[in-house]
Chain A
Amino acid sequence: MAKEEKTKKKQPKFIALSGIGLQMGLTIYLFSYLGKFLDNKFSPETEYWTIGLILLGVVVSFYNLLRQVNKINDQEKHD
């Protein structure tokens, strides 16, 4: 059991975040796509939906990133 704990500590846990860039990018892209669609449908003159939803996409993707980083940090503390 002692040996197992030793190997656990050596593990680079942050490798779990290797795909996060792609996920953040795609999240923001999809939010902007939805924003454009809503702008075309409801108010073709303004772009408030697009801008607002892109900002929301950025917030959500960062929230998701921070949540995962915190989770990994907590895990490392427990080990």
Chain B
Amino acid sequence: MGKNILSVLLFALFLAPNLSFGSDEVTTENIDAKAQKNKEHKEYINHHLQDSYDFTIWHEYGIGFPLPIILIDEGFHIFSSSNFHHGETVAESNGKFYKVYHNKIYRTDAEGTITLDDHHHPTQVKPLDLSITKNVFTILIFSIFIFLLFRSFARSYGENQIPNKIGRFMEPLVIFVRDEIAIPNIGEKHYKKFMSYLLTVFFFIWFLNLAGMTPLGIGVTNNIAVTFTLAIITFLITLFTSRKAYWGHIFWMPGVPVPMKIVLAPIELLGVFIKPFALMIRLFANMTAGHVVMMSLIALLYIFPNWFAKGAFLSLTLFLSILELLVAFLQAYIFTMLTALYFGGAVAEHDDH
């Protein structure tokens, strides 16, 4: 990989003196074009980060496929997202008309009128949207993939004790989650009942983070709804498995003077909600930031006229891609680790350490 970066840099150096002419004249036209270009890049990045109703692989050439739209709006509506023609036309279903406005579906009339209120929000009715969007589709595909992968992995143990081909890769990771994450944080006694959830969450986040690194544009973990759901599940499991000592630590902190016990109680209660909230924000923000930085660097390739700068940004993008591969694993690890830590606190039985 280092050799690749080096050759790109050399290439850039070689071309730098030859190809940077002709773009140094600054005119008002130039500036306008540049501002327009910047705006386009920004829109492209935002579009990439958002969920969408059809699975678009190559936006410019219209390569992709439509996905089903499912709406509950005084009845059940199922139709293909191709009826929207990428949000340009009104779709009709059972006598009702729908239009996509800013990536949300609204009920309108046959002309597709959208009226805005003072806060620039549409006044039209937003039906309950259960559509299989790009993110939902990706999650379903990867869930099936992970399920099949682990099934074949588990089945190979029935025949002999040596793991099969996938197993040789997966076994150390499963052992890692058990020995490095679950047992130290939850404890030898209770860790077993949490293993299924910890493994699921670890591989789900890791695989989907890696999927976000592909050029398909399927960033699922940079959608806050997905991380919210994961955090909520952790929160609920923590609450429902909690023992007496967990609530004792919150409302009547052992080992501190009585006035402090009273002051700490509301703060610790706040902490119960802050912990899953921080989990949600951490995964969402890290993945979103990674994607924004990467795409901004790629956009800079098109903005800078200098070939030397292009080479530098290309190598920086390559370097950051490798870093993002690490972050993909790290975020899955941290999420699982903290989840295990909260479970450990919930099932702790005594106060002495």
Interface residues of A (CB under 8 A from B): 4, 7-8, 10-11, 15-16, 18-19, 22-23, 26-27, 30, 60-61, 63-64, 67, 71, 74-75, 78
Contact = CB atoms under 8 A, between A and B. Distances in A.
B330 to A, nearest CB: 12
Q: Shortest 4 CB-CB distances between A and B: which pairs?
A: A19-B278, A11-B184, A23-B274, A8-B184
A22 B278 contact: yes
B341 interface: yes
Interface residues of B, number: 23
B180 A22 contact: no
Contacts of A22: 274, 277-278
Contacts of B274: 19, 22-23, 26
Contacts of A71: 353
Given A22-B274, A26-B270, A71-B353, A7 B341 contact: no
B349 interface: no
B338 A18 contact: yes
Given A7-B180, A11-B180, A15-B341, A63 B260 contact: yes
Contacts, number: 49
Contacts of B263: 60
Nearest to A12: B337
Nearest to B341: A16
B188 A23 contact: no
B7 to A, nearest CB: 38
Given A18-B338, A19-B278, 18 more contacts: A4-B183, A4-B188, A7-B179, A7-B180, A8-B184, A11-B184, A15-B341, A18-B278, A19-B271, A19-B338, A26-B274, A30-B270, A63-B260, A64-B264, A64-B267, A71-B353, A75-B353, A78-B353
A19 B275 contact: yes
B210 interface: no
A15 B338 contact: yes
A12 B39 CA distance: 44
Nearest to B263: A60
Contacts of B353: 71, 74-75, 78
B180 A60 contact: no
10 contacts: A4-B183, A7-B183, A11-B185, A15-B334, A15-B337, A18-B282, A27-B267, A30-B270, A60-B267, A71-B353
Determine which residue in B179, B267, B275, B337 has the highest number of CB atoms from chain A within 10 A of its CB, and name it.
Answer: B267
A10 B274 CA distance: 27
A7 B224 CA distance: 34
A24 B179 CA distance: 32
